[in-house]
Structure 1
């Protein structure tokens, strides 16, 4: 049985860094996948699929649902670890519903929790524009990514809250404090 944890948060919330640290600390049992990284890997391969993904990402738009879901499910199924942490997913109500449907057909994968790393828009903007990793880190693209993140957030929170799966963590503290709380919470769920 694979135990799945999803980590969501605004661009710049630190969700990928948090998940990476936790997975490294528990590398015997935990695997971490960033939706963005999985998609970027495909782009790097220079495949036709990669080119399609790039055309969306470069404009700050969401990659089509079927591509994202296939990429994620393949990563989970091919992992040799018991605990899977995926950050940056779901990013839309459609992704959430599609994943819920897939999980209902895959009894060997159990969604344990959706962890939301909460930061204000100001903190997110400051962090993203401060790191400026690539062409997608500018004000216009940030504003678009923030809008894409915030629009479905209320519905996503409500959906997982009603299932008793939503856990909010304050992302405006030190990395150590955030990671320690998140790691402790994940370990409490897998007992």
Structure 2
């Protein structure tokens, strides 16, 4: 049985960096970032990539069908028994679609959802400071933050009710955050 960990957090919370470092430190872990997977598809220039770009260039959520297809393919093709996916779910629709998939597939267990919490000010400073792509500007950040925060309480409540939500303070150093997250993940596998 494969074990799945989801990492959620605001844009700029460090969730992708944290997950990448953990995957390098624990042999049995494969990390996928929904954002990176979607950006790679955009970079490929495919028809699907152009469709994805029409959403992410405006800071909008990619339609559920595209996101679930991307995630399910990643999970099925993961070379390790433990998978970390960051940046998902970002809406109750995405959460429900994944939950439905998990209920139908007994070969995968959702172990925990880890929320990397940072203040909006910290998130904005990080995103605008990194300027990784065309979507890293104030207008797009504000839209991404709004899209992230609107369903957040419902997402937290859903996973808290299942007793699988774990919140980590993302304001510390990368080393502190990764150590805490890695320790937590190891305690669950």
Q: Give the TM bin, normalised by the shorter chain.
A: over 0.9
1:31-180 to structure 2, matched below 5 A, reads 31-180=30-179
Q: Secondary structure at the match of 2:167?
A: strand
Alpha-carbon distance, 1:44 to partner: 1.6
Return the TM-score normalized by structure 1: 0.98
Q: Secondary structure at the match of 1:39?
A: helix
Moved over 6 A (4+): none
Residue 20 of structure 1 corresponds to 20
Deviations 1:131-161 (A, max 9, x none): 1111111111000000000000000000000
RMSD of Structure 2 on Structure 1 (CA) = 0.6
Deviations 1:60-87 (A, max 9, x none): 1000001000100100001110100000
Q: Tell me how far apart the structure 2 counterparts of residues 36 and 21 of structure 1 sit (CA, whole Å).
A: 17
Deviations 1:20-73 (A, max 9, x none): 0000111x2100000001111111221111110011011110000010001001
Alpha-carbon distance, 1:110 to partner: 0.4
Q: Secondary structure at the match of 1:116?
A: strand
Q: Secondary structure at the match of 1:59?
A: coil
Residue 5 of structure 1 corresponds to 5
What 5-or-longer segments of structure 2 have no aligned partner?
none
What 5-or-longer segments of structure 1 have no aligned partner?
none
Alpha-carbon distance, 1:174 to partner: 0.6
Q: Tell me how far apart the structure 2 counterparts of residues 107 and 44 of structure 1 sit (CA, whole Å).
A: 34
Deviations 1:163-186 (A, max 9, x none): 001000000001111000000000
Deviations 1:1-37 (A, max 9, x none): 11000000000000000000000111x2100000001
